């Protein structure tokens, strides 16, 4: 390949403590890549043999390059648009060295499932607004679907504080009724954009066709989240649920069609973990998880996955994020759990998922 020089990038994290992170120029050739960072520029050279997890995402404006070097995930972000020749050359470099190139992300449509919800700290990717206080059957049905104190032991703690758990970075404020209006684009290189890129790549779906993070998604009419319930027993566990109501059952059926793919549980759990780590202030990684088979006695549709992660800025050294998606008729409910010891918590998470599934599958649309 011919040498490629690309300017206007920033890197996270820095290659060494207190090293410059911008402006960054990237140089690519047959031997490897070189980063020139700071002014005056400091050079770091890395041979291709030491690079893994190579990825490229072209965003609405700019691009993101991801590499894993010596066990650390680095992200190079460029806010300005790539010229066509430069974009083609960068795509050829990534593809030529075994990397993955995501379809260009033009916009982020309304989110299709409860787990990928409004993140107010990042400006919101669905322009959702608190709904006026209403007592209609829709809201009552959603509140009844969510986790409640009756689902857990009296020894568990509960909280409606938005700072009560890292799960609050993924869920809407407990008890607050939200309605969705219009979609807004995720910032180039944001944790959401990276999580969307990782999800679409993992599930082998284009962003244009993706209903979860992509352009084909449809927003819920109403959404309500439960309080956060936590216990030091059960393997150290925090749980929360979020229920959504869609005006059309066909929208839920279309979501379920995508979520029924064999790798969905793993891919969605990985993307949510990526988003959680990025939202907590850490570098957005590309985590690896597993599809989770939860025993369920209730008759209904359910998918689950789990991913190990750490959230040092939130005081979480090692934990596992478990994500369970359930759907029926006009409803979709997401149960999320953060477990210190996932093996000790699995039976509890399964029981909570079953309790929700019974309610989801027995709540007719006419009740809403």
Kindly report, residue by residue over 8-26, the tens digit of the pLDDT.
Answer: 998 877 887 778 888 899 9
Among 23, 4, 8, CA closest to 95 = 4
Mean local confidence (pLDDT), 106-119: 32
Is residue 62 classed as helix, strand or coil in its secondary structure? Answer: coil
Q: Which tokens in the block code for residue 234?
A: 């059960």
Q: How far is CA 260 from CA 17, 275, 345, in A?
A: 44, 22, 25
Q: How confident is the model at residue 344 (pLDDT cuts 50, 70, 90)?
A: confident
| Angstrom distance (rounded) from CA 124 to CA 273 | 18
pLDDT at 156 (0 to 100): 92
Q: How far is CA 26 from CA 63, 72, 75, 126, in A?
A: 13, 18, 12, 34
Nearby residues of 255 by Cβ (< 8 Å), 6 or more positions away = 112, 113, 211, 212, 327, 332
Mean local confidence (pLDDT), 167-183: 71
66's enclosing H/E stretch is strand 63-69
How does DSSP classify residue 112?
A: S
Task: Please compute Rg for the chain using Cα positions.
Answer: 21
Residue 217 has pLDDT above 90, yes or no: no
Q: How confident is the model at residue 72 (pLDDT cuts 50, 70, 90)?
A: confident
Residue 103 has pLDDT above 80, yes or no: no
Kindly report, residue by residue over 41-52, the tens digit of the pLDDT.
Answer: 888 999 999 888
Residue 106 has pLDDT above 60, yes or no: no
Residue 148 has pLDDT above 60, yes or no: yes
Mean local confidence (pLDDT), 87-103: 83
| Angstrom distance (rounded) from CA 115 to CA 335 | 8
pLDDT at 221 (0 to 100): 83
| Angstrom distance (rounded) from CA 306 to CA 290 | 6
Is residue 286 classed as helix, strand or coil in its secondary structure? Answer: coil
pLDDT at 122 (0 to 100): 27
**Least confident among 42-51, 76-85, 249-258:** 76-85
- Please give the mean pLDDT across all residues of the chain: 79
Mean local confidence (pLDDT), 304-316: 79
- Indicate the domain borders of the chain: 4-102, 120-367
| Angstrom distance (rounded) from CA 6 to CA 59 | 16
Q: Which fold has domain 4-102?
A: PH-domain like (2.30.29)
Kindly report, residue by residue over 115-136, the tens digit of the pLDDT.
Answer: 334 332 222 344 344 444 445 7
Q: How far is CA 313 from CA 36, 152, 280, 282, in A?
A: 29, 28, 7, 7
Residue 161 has pLDDT above 50, yes or no: yes
Kindly report, residue by residue over 260-275, the tens digit of the pLDDT.
Answer: 999 999 999 999 888 8
Residue 109 has pLDDT above 50, yes or no: no
| pTM exceeds 0.85 | no
Residue 93's Cα: distance from chain center in Å?
Answer: 27
Among 253, 330, 252, 342, CA closest to 304 = 342
């Amino acid at each position: 390949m011919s040498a490629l020089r690309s300017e206007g990038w920033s890197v996270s994290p820095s290659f060494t403590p207190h090293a410059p992170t911008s402006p960054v120029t990237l140089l690519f050739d047959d031997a490897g890549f070189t980063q020139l960072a700071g002014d005056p520029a400091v050079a770091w050279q890395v041979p291709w043999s030491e690079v893994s997890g190579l990825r490229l995402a072209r965003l609405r404006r700019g691009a993101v390059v991801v590499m894993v070097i010596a066990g650390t995930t680095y992200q190079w972000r460029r806010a300005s648009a790539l010229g066509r020749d430069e974009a083609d050359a960068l795509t050829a470099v990534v593809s030529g060295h075994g990397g993955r190139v995501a379809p260009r992300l033009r916009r982020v449509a309304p989110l299709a499932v409860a787990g990928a919800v409004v993140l107010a700290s990042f400006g919101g990717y669905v322009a959702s607004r608190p709904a006026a206080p209403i007592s209609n059957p829709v809201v009552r049905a959603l509140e009844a679907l969510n986790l409640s104190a009756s689902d857990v032991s009296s020894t568990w703690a509960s909280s409606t504080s938005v700072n009560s758990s890292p799960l609050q970075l993924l869920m809407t404020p407990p008890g607050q009724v939200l309605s969705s209006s219009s979609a807004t684009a995720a910032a180039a290189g944001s944790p959401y954009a990276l999580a969307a890129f990782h999800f679409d790549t993992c599930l082998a779906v284009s962003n244009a066709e993706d209903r979860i993070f992509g352009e084909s998604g449809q927003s819920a009419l109403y959404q309500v989240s439960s309080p956060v319930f936590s216990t030091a027993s059960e393997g150290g566990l925090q749980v929360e649920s979020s229920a959504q109501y869609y005006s059309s059952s066909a929208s839920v059926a279309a979501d379920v069609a995508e979520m029924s793919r064999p790798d969905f549980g793993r891919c969605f759990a990985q993307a949510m973990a990526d988003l959680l780590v990025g939202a907590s202030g850490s570098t957005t990684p590309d985590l690896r998880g597993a599809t989770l088979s939860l025993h369920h006695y209730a008759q209904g549709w359910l998918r689950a996955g789990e991913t190990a992660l750490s959230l040092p800025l939130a005081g979480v050294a090692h934990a596992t994020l478990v994500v369970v998606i359930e759907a029926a008729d006009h409803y979709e409910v997401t149960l999320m759990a953060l477990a210190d010891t996932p093996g000790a918590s699995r039976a509890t998470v399964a029981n909570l998922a079953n309790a929700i599934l019974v309610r989801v599958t027995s709540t007719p649309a006419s009740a809403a």
